[in-house]
Amino acid sequence: MNKIEELIEQLCPDGVKSKGLIDLAKISTGKLNANAMIENGLYPFFTCSEKPYKIDKFAFDTEAILISGNGSQVGHINYYKGKFNAYQRTYVLFDFDRSINVKFMLYCLKGSLKEYILKNVNEGSVPYITLPMLQNFQIPIPPLPIQQEIVSILDKFTQLEAELEAELEARRAQYEYYRNELLNFEGKEVEWKTMGEVGQFVRGRRFVKDDIIAEGIPCIHYGEMYTHYKIWAKKAKSFLDPALAAKLRVAHPGDVIIVSAGETIEDIGNGVAWLGDSDIVIHDACFTYSHSLNPIYVSYYLQTNLFRSQIKKYISSGKISSINAPGLSKARIPIPSLAEQERIVGILDKFDSLVNDISVGLPAEIQARRKQYEYYRGKLLDFKSNSNG
């Protein structure tokens, strides 16, 4: 019998009672628009992205669990202790009840809240969750010594994963450095043109997630550009009925599909080179870019600081940030020979595989450790229920 089993036998042999989050913590939201972020702020600014940005003022000074309330990262969970600020659609849990270890709550939420949210999320132009969904969510509350022992075990798993993530982050920084260096052509003789001079932008037409079916005409919904697609793609994740697809717009093989709307300005401009054998329908929050360049070269260029800095002034901000075709058309792009474009693509493909391919290297090891952690988390947090105790 291990230590946790001994503690359960001693402290709660008849099972464990569950409580709703409303009984375990105060739940608030941030007050600021996502575009309040700045580059060199003093405090973390938690939005609906996985990682916090920066801001120059704080609204909270406490230990907190933060839950993304809408967008493509809806339900993503962060933990922070100290001074921070939050987006108006980020839920902040703080001022916790004495019966709960905050890290224990964090592990419980990471284990089951995301799945719960994905099953119950409100669909619309932007998926979102509501306050009652969080308030009524139940987690088990074993005695504090059991909570602490579980936290100690899971902390060891997360520490190992954090060390691997740190190494991967260092390699990604190296990759981004070389990508920016290879594609700025500083001090080299190379032709520069605006993207509008090189190619043509055509906006997609609207369809919704409910239109997506298991088989049919391939399509890309704009949300998949953040969650599924990377630099290039040959196969589609989603499909539409042929009758609907015939009314919409497509990208042709060799085109680059570019996101034109998102929750923050950082979301705008991401691109994927479409290398499939047939046309693919695109969402109205995307443009297809038809051109005569190496499509993967273009897709890599869209990730550079140089491109991002050029389009930033043409992005309109609001509840949803967006850019139009004229704004994208004004961005300048270097045009080396096709042979040089292919050479650059070859170098960057190797870097990209090293830091993003989950079948090899560090990403594969992190994936294996994460599955091990999730397995043990599920086992450790599976308690016999006691609805009366």
- Mean pLDDT over 201-206 rounds to 96
| pLDDT of 127 | 77
Is 376's pLDDT higher than 90?
no
- Mean pLDDT over 336-345 rounds to 96
Does this chain's domain 19-141 share its CATH topology with 191-335? Answer: yes
Q: Are 39 and 54 in contact (CB under 8 A)?
A: yes
Q: Are 82 and 67 in contact (CB under 8 A)?
A: no
Select from 192, 312, 219 the least CA-distant residue to 274: 219
Q: Would you identify the CATH topology of the domain 191-335?
A: Adenine-n6-DNA-methyltransferase TaqI; Chain A, domain 2 (3.90.220)
| pLDDT of 358 | 66
Distance of CA 79 to the CA centre of its chain: 16
Is 113's pLDDT higher than 90?
no
Is 374's pLDDT higher than 90?
no
Average pLDDT of the chain to the nearest whole number? 90
* Separation CA 43–CA 84 (nearest Å): 5
Q: Which is higher by pLDDT, 196 or 172?
A: 196
- Mean pLDDT over 126-138 rounds to 86
- Mean pLDDT over 261-290 rounds to 92
| pLDDT of 385 | 83
| pLDDT of 124 | 64
Select from 134, 161, 103 the least CA-distant residue to 28: 134
Q: Where are the domains of the chain?
A: 19-141, 143-183+343-389, 191-335
| pLDDT of 116 | 84
| pLDDT of 1 | 46
| pLDDT of 48 | 80
pLDDT in tens, 213-244: 999 999 999 889 888 898 999 999 999 999 99
pLDDT in tens, 210-220: 999 999 999 99
Q: Does domain 19-141 have CATH number 3.40.50.2300?
A: no
pLDDT in tens, 57-105: 999 999 999 998 887 788 889 999 999 999 998 999 999 999 999 999 9
pLDDT in tens, 86-95: 999 899 999 9
CA dihedral angle for residue 22, residue 25, residue 30, residue 31, rounded to 10 degrees: 70
Q: Which amino acid is at 147?
A: Q
- pLDDT band at residue 389 under the 50/70/90 scheme: very low
Of 4-18, 99-113, 278-292, 345-359, least confident by mean pLDDT is 345-359
* Separation CA 38–CA 27 (nearest Å): 26
